[in-house]
Amino acid sequence: MSGDWKQLLRPGVTLPFCPGCGHRILLRHLLTAIDELGLDIDRMLFVSGIGCGGWIPSPCINADTLHCLHGRAIPFAVGAKTANPSLTTLVVSGDGDLADIGGNHLIHAARRDMDITVICANNMNYGMTGGQVCATTPVGAVTHTTPSGNAYRPFDLCALVRAAGARYAARYLVTQGPQLVSAIKKAIGIKGFSFVEAISPCPTQFGRQNRMDNVKDVYDYVESLVVSREAAAAGTATTRGVTLVTGEFENG
Ligand SMILES: Cc1ncc(C[n+]2csc(CCOP(=O)(O)OP(=O)(O)O)c2C)c(N)n1
Ligand code: SF4
Ligand SMILES: [Mg+2]
């Protein structure tokens, strides 16, 4: 452990995220987890699809990265892991990439217990392409394609992958740094399919379209959607349109 997550950044890289983007914070937590585990980055592979979330590994991380077709990060990762089982293989990508266009790959990789870790940067919209609705957009949220508010329930991604057989799933806000770092470390250590969902605010697209005029408003909004596992179990939690339960979820 070096204690300096920045030494895992690709030298000279300019981080490609807007000011206030949660993906930038997730990148920091991911690299902190890898540093704290003392992993050899040369024995790791990072795979991503298309989107701002897909930029987290490539160009940012100084390691082998596969920046794949939109929605196809998981099959590329499964192929690489099958060819070289000694590689610690992580998929890091957006909610649209993993749960919309790539949703079938996600559930089947969980069902088949593929030995990979999937980290989903969930910003509740397609950030890169202008802020369209996606499978994780809260009910009522305004997006480029739902100007009157989204009518449909979002996926609970942790419940989805658990139902499909994932050994481990966890969900935290990017502002819950210690919990998120710990969850990423645990997920990487699991033999079999593991999943970490980071709720990662997008001020530029989601925030603007929902009339959140500054970055803090977007972070306050996502905090208003989450409840801890303990509060959810006690039945004391109420949220609007969607309840995102934070915590760790393990299958026996
Ligand atoms: C096959 C295909 N369809 C659509 C697109 C356009 N496209 C690029 S990124 C993206 C959405 C990305 O959303 P998400 O994965 O949530 O990442 P974010 O930008 O929100 O972090 C879309 C629809 C594409 N590149 N390829
Ligand atoms: S558009 Fe949204 S998700 Fe993409 S970099 Fe900007 S703030 Fe982040
Ligand atoms: Mg997204």
Residue to mutate, 104, 129, 206, ligand 1, most ligand atoms under 8 Å from C-beta: 129
Q: What is the pTM of this model?
A: 0.97
pLDDT per position as a tens digit, 65-124: 999 999 999 999 999 999 999 999 999 999 999 999 999 999 999 999 999 999 999 999
Q: Is residue 87 part of a domain?
A: yes
Return per-residue pLDDT of the chain as tens, 252 residues.
Answer: 889 999 999 999 999 999 999 999 999 999 999 999 999 999 999 999 999 999 999 999 999 999 999 999 999 999 999 999 999 999 999 999 999 999 999 999 999 999 999 999 999 999 999 999 999 999 999 999 999 999 999 999 999 999 999 999 999 999 999 999 999 999 999 999 999 999 999 999 999 999 998 999 999 999 999 999 988 888 766 555 567 999 999 987
* Nearest residue (CA) to ligand 1, atom 3: 70
Cα 82 to chain center, whole Å? 23
Q: Which 8-state DSSP code applies to residue 155?
A: P
Containing 88, the helix (H) or strand (E) segment is: strand 88-94
| Cβ atoms 225, 138 nearer than 8 A | yes
Structure tokens given for 200 = 């990662």
Residue 234, domain member (yes or no): no
Q: Which of 41, 49, 109 is nearest to 78 (CA)?
A: 109
Expressed as residue numbers, the domain containing 165 is: 18-134+154-202+246-250
Q: Assess if residue 208 is contained within a domain.
A: no
Residue 215 included in any domain: no
CATH code at 73?
A: 3.40.50.970
User: Is 213 a domain residue?
Assistant: no
Q: Is there a contact between 29 and 200 (Cβ–Cβ < 8 Å)? A: no
Under DSSP, the state recorded for 26 is H
The rounded Å distance from CA 92 to ligand 3 centre is 12
Other Cβ atoms closer than 10 A to 116: 26
Task: Give residue ranges with CB within 6 A of ligand 2.
Answer: 17-18, 21, 23, 52, 123, 127-128, 202-205
**Is 240 part of any domain?**
no
Domains of the chain: total: 1
Instruction: Report the interhelical angle of 73-83 vs 103-111 (nearest 10°).
Output: 40
Local structure of residue 13 (DSSP, 8 states):
P
Domain membership of residue 220 (yes or no) is no
